[in-house]
Amino acid sequence: MRSVKVLMVFITLSVLAGCYEMKQDDKGRTVKVNKITGELSVIEGDKIIKLKGEKEVKAEQEAAKKLGETKRWPEIPLTIAEGVNARLVTKWSDGIMYYQFFIDKNLRGKGNYFARLTIQLHDSASFLIEEIPVPVSNLTGSVGLDGKTIESMEYKGQKPLSEDTYKKISEWNVSWAGFNK
């Protein structure tokens, strides 16, 4: 019985040893190739680093491409004044979130000099992840058809934000301060 166990261990080790091929790449690193699965690993010192397969690389590229696509968030009504709505458009690229913030009315006469809107970004459990303060004085006015009256306002910017944090954003809101009631 014991000789059978020893034989099984020997056969298993022989098969496992035959599954891998060791090579050196042009940088002098040892590369381990699994002949059965095609999995590649690099051995550097006392570390074994598993290399990503073609499917994993393609999946990451698709995810990055999706983050770089423009996302239009749902419009939010603001109770600062009657009929005021806010819109937000975002996209992410190389550690930066780009955003465009729109208000469909002129808010300059509705608050004091220090009036501020704050874009609030939340996760799926409504926890606050990030805030972007926007002073009303920094909003750009868009002139209406008469060529004189400001009918809407906008603000465009960018903010350093990790990919993981951007992926967690699932809803948004706007808070404000310094407006007349």
All structural domains of the chain with their residue ranges: 2-51, 71-179
Residue carrying structure tokens 């699932």:
170
Contact 165, 129 (CB under 8 A): yes
State the sign of the Cα–Cα–Cα–Cα dihedral 66, 70, 74, 77: positive
Answer yes or no: is pLDDT of 14 > 50. no
Q: What is the pTM assigned to this prediction?
A: 0.65
**15: pLDDT strictly greater than 70:** no
Instruction: Please state which CATH number belongs to domain 71-179.
Output: 2.60.40
pLDDT at 149: 80
Which DSSP state fits 18? H
Lowest mean pLDDT among 16-30, 101-115, 125-139: 16-30
Residue 100 token pair: 């465009």
